[in-house]
Structure 1
Amino acid sequence: MKTLLIKNARNIITMDSERTQYPGGSIYIEGQEIKAIGVNLPYETADEVIDARNQIIYPGLINTHHHLYQTFTRNIPLAQNCELFDWLITLYDIWRHIKPEDVYLSAAVGLGELLKSGCTTASDHFYVFPDGISGELIDEEIRAAQELGIRFFPTRGSMSLGRSKGGLPPDEVVQSENVILKDTMRVIETYHDPSPFSMVRVGVAPCSPFSVSRDLLRESANLARSYGVRMHTHLAESQDEDQFCLEKLGMRPLELMEQTGWVGNDVWFAHGIWFNEQEIIKLGTCGCGVAHCPSSNMKMKSGTMPIMDMLGAGVKVGLGVDGSASNDSSNMLMELKVMNLLHNLQHGTKALSAEDCLYIATKGSSKVLGWEDSIGSLEVGKAADLFMVNANRLEFAGALFDDASLPILTGTPQVDRTIVGGKTVVKDGRLVNVNEEHLAIAAQKAASRMLETASKYMKKNYKKSRITKKVFR
C-alpha cells in the first residue's frame, strides 16, 4: 500500500477522547489508515512526504445533512426571506425540472465546496424524483463523489404524499411506494459498503412527516433494518410541521416516528428544533442522533436547536450545512463559526467553546453517522481524513494563541489542503481531481437552463404564479 508521512506540523489537533494535541508532531499513513501519530516518530521516508512546517492539522469535518441538488437554486430572490413551507412550495416548481446531469453537476459543486472547507465525509438526503426523469438520480451524486474523492453517505430519500393526498409537495415530484422501496433496495445493493474505510455507505431517508405516508415510514424502517443500514429524516424542524402533524395525524412528530419504527440508535433526524423536554430525554435514551443545521435554521426562522439540553441528555449531535438553497453555501468552516456564535447568543458565552463546536463537527458527527470506529478523530487505526491550514496566512496574524479554535474564530473559511483516506484532494486551496473553472461554467449553464425551463412551464400553466412574476420577469 502507498505510504504517506506528514511531518513536523506546527500542531496536530486530534479530537480524540482526551482532545490530545501534538505540537511539532507527525502522522504516518499506510493506504487509508493512520499507523502512527505523535512526536519523534521512527519514520523518515515514505512514498510521499509532506513537510507540514507552519501547518496545523485537524481531523476532517463530517457533514451530517445536506441536499446537494439544491446547489442550483441558491440566491433565488423569491426563496429568500420566507419560512419553510412557503420556501418549499416556491422551489418545488423549479426542482421538478431537474435532470440527471443537473444532479451530477450540482453534487460536484457542493461536494467541492465542502472539500475546500475541510469536510472529508458528507451525508446527503436526495428525495426529489420528478415524473418522466430517470429514477437513478442518486447514482449521479455518487459518481460526483467518487470523482472528487470525498467519503460519501448518500441517503435514498422519498416523497409519496403529494398534494392530492394532503401532503405539501406537488404530485409531479412524488413516487409510488412500490417504486420507492424497489429503488431503495437497488441503491443499497449496488453501492452500500459497510467496511470501516468504505468510501460509500447508503441510508434510507423518507423526506418528512408532511411528504410521506405512515405506511412508507413503516416499510422503509423494515427495509433499512433488513439490510443493516441507517435511517434518516427531517423532524421537529418547524412549528408548521408540528401543526401539520397535530391537525392531520392527531399526534406530535416524534409520536409518529415511534409508531412507525423510527427510533433507535440506527436513526438520526435533521434539525430537531421543536422537541420538548420529555422527547429530548427519550432521544438520548433510545440512542437517536440529530444533525444540527444552524445557518439554515436561522435563515428560515425555524428556531434554535436546544443543543445544551440534548448534549446533557446524551443525544448524539453532529453538524450539517443543510441544502444549499436554505444556506446558500456548503462551507463547513463557516457553519462552525455560525454555530459557535449562535449558541453564544442563545445559551451564553460559557456554553460551547469553538473547540467544543469542532468536536461536534468531527467526533460528534461520526457518532451520528454510526462511523466512529473509523472517522471523526486522528488516531492510530482510523482513516487518514484531515485538513490543514497554513498558520502563516495573513488572516491568522495576531491570532496564533489557540490552534484548536483558530480556523473557527479567525481567518477566511477555507483550507490549504484536504486529505481523504490518505489521498490529497485539495492542494493549495484548490480541488485536485477536477478543473474548478470548467465545473463552475458547466454548472451555471445547467442551473440557468433549469430555471428557464421552470419559467416557461410556470408561464404556460400558472400565469398568476408568484415565481413567474417575481423570479423570472
Structure 2
Amino acid sequence: MSRSLLVHDAYLYIDRNREIPDGWIHIEEGRVIATGGPCDPQPVNRVPPADRISARGRLVTPGMVNAHHHMYQNLTRAYAPVTNGTLFEWLRGLYPLWAGLDEENVYLSARIAMTELLLGGCTTSMDHHYVHPRPHLIDAQIRAARDLGFRFMATRGSMTRSEKDGGLPPDSVVQDETTILEDCERLIRRFHDPSPGAMTRIALAPCSLFSVSDTIMTESAAMAERHDVRLHTHLAEDRDEILYCRERYGCTPVEFFERSGWSNDRAWVAHFIYPSSGEIDRLARKGVCAAQCPCSNMMIGGGSADVMDLRRRGMAVGLGCDGSASTDHGSLWLEARMSLLLGRYRNGPHAMTARDALDMATRGGAACLGWSDEIGHLRPGACADLVIWHIPPVARAGALSDPVEALLRCAPAMAWYTVVNGQVCVREGQPCQNDLDRILADHEKASRRMQKIS
C-alpha cells in the first residue's frame, strides 16, 4: 500500500453539502487524513513528488458504491435469443447456459466485472451470486477481488425451487436447504471481515421470493442476526412476482418479506418497483434500503422505482448495475446518469439533480451495504476510495459553471484515476493490471464455450 498520496488542483466533492473548488485531499495508510482549499497549506513535505497527483481542475468524488450486481452474467452479454424478452422469459432462456458456471469462469467474469466497475468510477461493489451448479463459486469471486485490490461484499445467493417445483431455473442450478445454509456459515467464518477498513465482507442473499423456500428466507434472517451480517434479495421487481406471492402465500411480496423476519435495518432490496405507498412507509421506518438499477429496468421494460419518492419517505436508495446480461454494461457512472434522466422524465425537471444521483451512487450505496461510516464520502477518517473523473474536452466544452452537474450531463465520463484503499487501480484511464489481455482472452474462450459459439 502506498503510505501517502496527495491529490491536488481538484474540484472536490467530499460529501453531500461539502464541496471545495481548487481543493486537495491527503491520504495515508488507506485513509483520508485531511482535505483543504487554496488557502490551506498542502502537506507537500509529507508526500514525495512521485505520490502527488495533479487533477488538473478535474472533479474528484468519493468512489461509487455498487449496490446490486450479478457479475457472472457478463459471460452472456447481449445474448441474441433473449435480448427482447420479459424478465421471466429472459431468465428461462439463460438459466440453461448459466448451468455451465465453474470456478474458472466465475473468477474470469468477476475480474472483468470489477475492472469495468473501476473504469466507471466504482470502488466498492457487492455481488449477488445465486446460481450454484458447482461449489465454491463465491470463493472464486473473492479471489478475483483480492487479486485486483477491490473492496468487495460477496453475497451468498441461493435458489431452492426449480422448474419441477414451479420455479424458473433447471434442477442443475438450485440447491437443497442444508447445502445452502452450511455454505453460508462457511463463507461467513472464512471471509467476513467486520473490522474497520475491511476489503472483504459477506452478506446473505436468497435470490427472490419466488425462487427459494420459506425456510431459506427465515433461516437466512436468523443467521444474519447471529453473525451480524447484512441481508439482500430482489423484491417487488415484477408484476408476475405479485401474482406468484398472492397465489402461493395469499399476500404481497412485501408482506411475505415482513413475515419472514426481513423488515429490519440490516436488509436492502433490489429494484423495489411495485410496492404500495403503505409498504414503502413501513419498510422505510424499519431501516430497509433499496437499490435502483435504471438501465436494467429500462432494458427489460419492467418499470423502475420512483427513487425520489422513496427518499422523501425516508428510505436510503443506492444504485446498481445489475447483471451484465440485462444491462450489457457495468458502469455505475452510466447508472447514475440514467437515474437522473429517468427521475426527471418521470416527475419533471425540478424533481432531481445531478447531486441527488451522485448522492445515491455514493452515500446511498454505502447505506445499502451498511458501510456509511467509512465509504461513500471523503471526510477525514474515510476509506481512501476516490475517483478523478475525465470528460473528453469536446464533450465538456462550455461546461464551466458546475462540475458536478457536468459529470452526469456531459457524456461520456470515465475514471481518469481510481483509487481504492489508497492504491491506484486506474491510472490515466487505463487499468493497472499486467495480465488484463490474458484475462480478456480467457474470458472470451469461456464465454464462447458457454454460448456454444465456435
Report the TM range for the smaller structure's normalisation.
Answer: over 0.9
In the aligned structure 1, how far is the partner of 2:244 from the partner of 2:41? 59
**Which residue pairs with 1:27 in the alignment?**
25
**Which residue pairs with 1:373 in the alignment?**
373
What displacement does 1:223 show?
Answer: 1.0
What displacement does 1:49 show?
Answer: 1.8
**Which residue pairs with 1:345 in the alignment?**
345
In the aligned structure 2, how far is the partner of 1:75 from the partner of 1:261? 37
Secondary structure of the residue that 1:13 maps to in structure 2?
strand
Where in structure 2 are the equivalents of 1:45-444 lying within 5 Å? 45=45, 46-47=47-48, 48-130=51-133, 133=134, 135-390=135-390, 393-444=393-444
What displacement does 1:384 show?
Answer: 1.1
In the aligned structure 1, how far is the partner of 2:8 from the partner of 2:91? 49
Secondary structure of the residue that 1:54 maps to in structure 2?
coil
| RMSD (Å) for aligned C-alpha atoms | 1.5
What displacement does 1:51 show?
Answer: 2.3
Q: Normalization by structure 2: what TM-score?
A: 0.96
Q: Structure 1 stretch 436-445 or stretch 2-11: which is displaced more?
A: 2-11
In the aligned structure 2, how far is the partner of 1:390 from the partner of 1:205? 35
What displacement does 1:389 show?
Answer: 2.1
Contact 1:56 1:391 in 2 (8 A): no
Distance 1:434 1:237, change over 3 A: farther
Contact 1:321 1:330 in 2 (8 A): yes
Q: Structure 1 stretch 4-13 or stretch 303-312: which is displaced more?
A: 4-13
| Structure 1 segments of 4+ aligned residues over 3 angstroms from their partners | 390-394
Q: Gapped runs of 5+ residues in structure 2?
A: none
Q: Structure 2 counterpart of 1:261, which letter?
A: G
Question: How high is the sequence identity, in percent, across the aligned residues?
Answer: 40
What displacement does 1:159 show?
Answer: 0.4
In the aligned structure 2, how far is the partner of 1:20 from the partner of 1:449? 49
Q: Structure 1 counterpart of 2:90, which letter?
A: W
- Report Cα offsets for 1:277-328 as digits up to 9, x if no partner: 1001001111000011011111111112022221111011000010111100
What displacement does 1:42 show?
Answer: 4.5
Q: Normalization by structure 1: what TM-score?
A: 0.92
What displacement does 1:162 show?
Answer: 1.4
Contact 2:121 2:415 in 1 (8 A): yes
Q: Structure 1 counterpart of 2:67, which letter?
A: T
In the aligned structure 2, how far is the partner of 1:244 from the partner of 1:413? 41
In the aligned structure 2, how far is the partner of 1:196 from the partner of 1:282? 31
Secondary structure of the residue that 2:301 maps to in structure 1?
coil
**Which residue pairs with 1:462 in the alignment?**
none
**Which residue pairs with 2:449 in the alignment?**
449
Secondary structure of the residue that 1:325 maps to in structure 2?
coil
Is 1:37 equivalent to 2:40 in the alignment? no
- Report Cα offsets for 1:403-461 as digits up to 9, x if no partner: 11222111313111100111100001111134332222211111001111xxxxxxxxx
What displacement does 1:15 show?
Answer: 1.8
Contact 1:54 1:391 in 2 (8 A): no
Distance 1:382 1:213, change over 3 A: same
Distance 1:343 1:42, change over 3 A: closer
Secondary structure of the residue that 2:201 maps to in structure 1?
coil
Distance 1:391 1:128, change over 3 A: closer
Secondary structure of the residue that 1:299 maps to in structure 2?
helix
Contact 2:390 2:414 in 1 (8 A): no
Contact 1:54 1:392 in 2 (8 A): no
Q: Structure 2 counterpart of 1:220, which letter?
A: S
In the aligned structure 2, how far is the partner of 1:370 from the partner of 1:7? 27
Contact 2:391 2:414 in 1 (8 A): no
Q: Structure 1 stretch 433-442 or stretch 143-152: which is displaced more?
A: 433-442
What displacement does 1:84 show?
Answer: 0.7
In the aligned structure 2, how far is the partner of 1:243 from the partner of 1:391? 45
Q: Structure 1 counterpart of 2:34, which letter?
A: A
In the aligned structure 2, how far is the partner of 1:450 from the partner of 1:406? 40
Contact 1:10 1:25 in 2 (8 A): yes
Contact 1:270 1:292 in 2 (8 A): yes
What displacement does 1:65 show?
Answer: 0.2
Q: Structure 2 counterpart of 1:32, which letter?
A: G
What displacement does 1:23 show?
Answer: 1.4
Q: Which has the higher strand share?
A: 2
In the aligned structure 2, how far is the partner of 1:224 from the partner of 1:206? 12
Secondary structure of the residue that 2:398 maps to in structure 1?
coil
How many residue pairs get matched? 449
Q: Structure 1 counterpart of 2:95, which letter?
A: Y
In the aligned structure 1, how far is the partner of 2:106 from the partner of 2:62? 29
Distance 1:53 1:4, change over 3 A: farther
Secondary structure of the residue that 1:211 maps to in structure 2?
coil
Q: Structure 2 counterpart of 1:150, which letter?
A: F
Secondary structure of the residue that 1:187 maps to in structure 2?
helix
Contact 1:390 1:416 in 2 (8 A): yes
In the aligned structure 2, how far is the partner of 1:330 from the partner of 1:434? 21
Secondary structure of the residue that 1:303 maps to in structure 2?
coil
Secondary structure of the residue that 1:417 maps to in structure 2?
strand
Contact 2:123 2:150 in 1 (8 A): yes
Secondary structure of the residue that 2:108 maps to in structure 1?
helix
Contact 1:293 1:320 in 2 (8 A): yes
In the aligned structure 2, how far is the partner of 1:400 from the partner of 1:42? 25
Secondary structure of the residue that 2:437 maps to in structure 1?
helix
Secondary structure of the residue that 2:262 maps to in structure 1?
coil
Distance 1:176 1:390, change over 3 A: closer
